[in-house]
Amino acid sequence: MSAKTKISVVDLRMEYVDENRGIRHIATDGLTLDVKENEFLCVVGPSGCGKSTLLSAIAGFLKPRGGTVSMDGRPILEPGADRGVVFQEYALLPWKTVLENVGLGLKLRGVAKAERDAVAMRFLDITNLTHAAEKYPHELSGGMKQRAAVARTLANKPEVMLMDEPFAAVDAQTRLTLQEELVRIWDENRLTVLFITHSVEEAVFLGDRIIVLTPGPGKVRAVVDVPIPRDQRHWATINANPQFVAIRDRTLALVRGLEAA
Ligand SMILES: Nc1ncnc2c1ncn2[C@@H]1O[C@H](COP(=O)(O)OP(=O)(O)OP(=O)(O)O)[C@@H](O)[C@H]1O
Ligand SMILES: [Mg+2]
């Protein structure tokens, strides 16, 4: 990880306004954080604190009411292929095969079939889905759908992966495998990842740093460094690692508001 800032969020205020009913909801206020190049940054915080809203602002789906969101020093004004988004719902097109789903972004950009199939197959290989290339989404397990969604995002060669609780819907066993695979993919592709999760354990396992948000409107309550070497991050052994346990417990306490930040 270099120290260069990839994404910068400064004093972000996000609001949902319902003009008809005269309702204004402040989702985040005074939220400042940055994501460094090649960093794996996790964001945790109570339900409704504004995590998904933050991600939508970085993705360019929602506009800030106040403050700025920028990437490489330029304001983010709209969605772009430089930022890939993986939602909790897999959002695969049910009438297309896995191979076609993974190649979809390339198709939209006008890449010829032979080339996009070749790229799609490479990312299906990376996500261990080669055997499922010709299947349709309804023929896949939850974990396979999730890996297909990750493969589809990677096939677009984003610089930044924005992931909103991507593994929440898969079973516990699959989740551990997906987490280990994601770390490998992140490392091999030198990606920058912003990863939202409810699970503190997941955040400590995956992250270089963890941002803990306050209850809504969300702002940063604490930043937790996770200096655990990558070669020690395996689920078979990490629960016996005292550093992991200490960081996990401290982060849990911060999320629950039991400890002064
Ligand atoms: N489309 C919307 N219209 C109005 N209010 C919304 C909308 N989307 C979110 N909100 C509100 O904004 C706040 C932040 O929502 P957000 O989805 O960002 O939370 P979150 O931290 O992702 O929660 P969770 O952990 O449950 O996914 C919540 O109070 C929510 O009710
Ligand atoms: Mg959310």
The rounded Å distance from CA 24 to ligand 1 centre is 12
Q: Say yes or no to pLDDT of 259 above 70.
A: no
Identify the residue whose tokens are 């940054």: 41
C-alpha of residue 164 to centroid of ligand 2, in Å: 7
pLDDT, tens digit (0-9, with 9 covering 90-100), for 154-170? 888 899 999 999 888 77
Strand partners, 164: 196
Closest CA to 98 of 128, 132, 139: 132
Task: Find all residues with CB under 8 Å of 22, minimum gap 6, and list them.
Answer: none
Atom of ligand 1 nearest to the CA of 49: 21
pLDDT, averaged across the chain: 91
Q: CB of 49 closer than 6 A to ligand 1?
A: yes
Q: Is the pLDDT of residue 261 over 80?
A: no
| Single pTM value for the model | 0.91
For residues 110-128, average pLDDT: 92
pLDDT band with cut points at 50, 70 and 90 for residue 2: low
Are 116 and 101 spatial neighbours (Cβ–Cβ below 8 Å)?
no
Q: Which two tokens stand for residue 245?
A: 């346990």
The fold adopted by the segment(s) 1-82+169-261 is: Rossmann fold (3.40.50)
pLDDT reported for residue 142: 82
Helix (H, G, I), strand (E, B) or coil at 61: coil
Q: How far apart are CA 70 and CA 211, in angstroms?
A: 18
Give me the pLDDT at residue 156, please: 85
Kindly list the domain boundaries of the chain, sorted by start residue. 1-82+169-261, 88-157
Report whether pLDDT(172) > 90. no
Lowest model confidence (mean pLDDT) among 61-70, 83-92, 202-211, 213-222: 83-92
Cα–Cα distance for residue pair 259/261, rounded to 1 Å: 6
pLDDT, tens only, 54-81: 999 999 999 999 999 999 999 999 999 8
CB 96, CB 114: distance < 8 Å: no
Burial of 164 (0-12, 13-18, 19+ CB in 10 A): buried
